[in-house]
């Protein structure tokens, strides 16, 4: 990670000098040490596990993009239709996700899809506001949660 920090240091400074290299090395070393202390370091995993996580993350991102476009069309239909009545509602549900990172990813994914926003997240209980009942359907048993559960299983197996 130190090398990545140094490369970013030089990119942001737009020049390479001896003085910047020494200061950058010190600053980047401190940032690297700080991130290891705070984040607890990255567990060493086999390359096969990293590839599975990368593939699962790509599937998750593709699923998120599909949902964003699908919900965009639904919201546009609601806005432009003079006959459709908007019926906002709150959905409460519990998730089976174990890690805080996965829960936050789920909350952010719900918020990124148009027409829904995560209002609350306490432990494993979510509160989601949906612009319309059609947009809130299936939020408690979504593909997002299934994909995140798969990613958690892959990470736990390593």
Q: Where do the structural domains in the chain lie, given as residue ranges?
A: 2-39, 47-157
Query: Residue 41's pLDDT is what?
Result: 55
- Report which of 135, 149, 49 is spatially closest to residue 87, judged by C-alpha positions: 135
Assess contact for 152 and 98: CB atoms under 8 A. yes
Give pLDDT tens digits for 48-58. 887 888 899 89
Mean pLDDT of 135-157: 86
pTM: 0.72
pLDDT tier for residue 117 given thresholds of 50, 70 and 90: very high
Give pLDDT tens digits for 14-31. 888 889 889 989 998 888
Rounded Cα gap, residues 56 and 58, in angstroms: 5
pLDDT tier for residue 63 given thresholds of 50, 70 and 90: very high
Share of the chain above pLDDT 90, in %: 44
């Amino acid at each position: 990670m130190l090398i990545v920090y140094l490369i970013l240091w030089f990119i942001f400074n737009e020049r390479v000098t001896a003085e910047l290299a020494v200061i950058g090395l010190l600053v980047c070393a401190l940032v690297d040490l700080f991130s290891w202390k705070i984040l607890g370091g990255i567990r060493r995993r086999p390359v096969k596990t990293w590839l599975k996580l990368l593939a699962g993350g790509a599937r998750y991102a593709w699923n998120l993009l599909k949902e964003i476009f699908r919900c965009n069309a639904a919201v546009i239909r609601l806005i432009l239709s003079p006959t459709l009545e908007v019926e906002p509602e709150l959905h409460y549900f519990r998730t089976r996700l174990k890690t805080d990172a996965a829960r936050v990813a789920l909350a952010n994914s719900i918020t990124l899809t148009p027409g829904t926003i995560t209002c609350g997240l306490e432990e494993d209980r979510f509160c989601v506001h949906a612009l319309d009942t059609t947009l809130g359907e299936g939020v408690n048993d979504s593909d997002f949660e299934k994909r995140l559960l798969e990613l958690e299983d892959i990470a736990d197996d390593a």
